């Protein structure tokens, strides 16, 4: 199936603090079970949609204030899939999508986890406009870049933030440093890509479909 086809099949994403994932039951179409673990308390779907809607309003306001496009280059599009630079050189510790835990709980991760040493630089994967530089939905210090057309990249579980809202950054610019030391996964960042579906609120995509392929996957 083409990337465009896969985008059309995505479901609503529920954001969960400290885990970046959705807990699901036997069926992905059913309402998630209210049962939670200490590490994965559940957020309601409306909270996630409100957060992303707020980001969209922030993006439009910042772009209007700046009086220019979100970056010096063209806006992001489906054609950029497979071409983005990696934000951090590290091992993947979890991947986008379903994960079956030994205790039977099924999780749905909204991004990929990339391990790194605390304080290591985290870089922008593409030119963009900083629409968030601060705490975000339980992930701790976070940077969100708008790449135009409703496309975003998210850099979660940072230790420090090195950019300011409203500023444009180039690809490779350091947006923060590796944090996540207090998470069950240890020092790492979570990297997410959000893209609009038929003009709707941007939803989580598999970042590995957007990042450049690298040895070892």
Residue-level pLDDT at 201: 73
User: Which has more pLDDT, 15 or 62?
Assistant: 62
Asked if 165 and 59 touch (Cβ cutoff 8 Å), the reply is: no
Residue-level pLDDT at 66: 59
Residue-level pLDDT at 28: 28
Q: Taking the CA of residue 205 as centre, how many other CA atoms within 13 Å lie in the half-sphere pointing to its CB?
A: 28
Asked if 151 and 129 touch (Cβ cutoff 8 Å), the reply is: no
Q: Which domains are assigned to the chain?
A: 47-96+110-209 (2.70.70.10)
Residue-level pLDDT at 152: 92
Residue-level pLDDT at 54: 74
pLDDT in tens, 137-190: 778 999 999 998 889 999 999 999 999 998 999 999 999 999 999 998 999 999
2 phi/psi in degrees, rounded to 5: -70, 165
Residue 3 has pLDDT above 50, yes or no: no
pLDDT in tens, 25-78: 222 222 222 233 333 323 333 444 566 677 777 667 766 665 555 555 678 988
Residue-level pLDDT at 147: 92
Residue-level pLDDT at 33: 29
Statement: the pTM of the whole predicted model exceeds 0.85? no
5: Cβ contacts below 8 Å, ≥ 6 apart: none
| Radius of gyration in angstroms for the set of CA atoms belonging to the chain, rounded to a whole number | 16
pLDDT in tens, 98-147: 777 788 787 778 899 999 999 999 999 999 999 999 998 778 999 999 99
Residue-level pLDDT at 203: 85
Query: CA 13: distance to chain centroid?
Result: 11
Query: 36: part of which helix (H) or strand (E)?
Result: none
Work out the widest C-alpha separation in the chain, in whole angstroms. Answer: 52
**Lookup: tokens for 18:** 């400290």
Residue-level pLDDT at 24: 34
Residue-level pLDDT at 37: 34
């Amino acid at each position: 199936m083409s990337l465009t086809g896969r985008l059309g099949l995505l479901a609503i994403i529920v954001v969960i603090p400290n885990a970046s994932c959705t807990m699901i039951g036997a069926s992905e179409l059913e309402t998630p079970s209210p049962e939670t673990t200490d590490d994965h308390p559940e957020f309601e779907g409306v909270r996630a949609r409100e957060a992303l809607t707020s980001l969209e309003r922030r993006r439009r306001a910042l772009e209007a204030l700046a009086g220019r496009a979100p970056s010096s280059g063209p806006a992001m599009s489906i054609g950029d899939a497979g071409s983005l630079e990696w934000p951090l050189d590290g091992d993947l510790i979890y991947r986008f999508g379903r994960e079956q835990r030994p205790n039977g709980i099924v999780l749905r991760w909204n991004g990929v986890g990339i391990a790194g040493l605390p304080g290591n630089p985290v870089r922008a994967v593409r030119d963009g406009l900083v629409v968030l530089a601060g705490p975000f939905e339980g992930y701790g210090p976070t940077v969100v870049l708008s790449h135009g057309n409703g496309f975003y990249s998210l850099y979660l579980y940072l230790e420090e933030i090195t950019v300011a809202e409203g500023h444009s950054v180039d690809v490779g610019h350091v947006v923060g440093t590796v944090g996540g030391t207090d998470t069950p996964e240890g020092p790492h960042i979570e990297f997410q890509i959000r893209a609009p579906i038929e003009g709707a609120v941007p939803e989580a995509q598999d970042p590995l479909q957007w990042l450049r392929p690298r040895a070892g996957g």
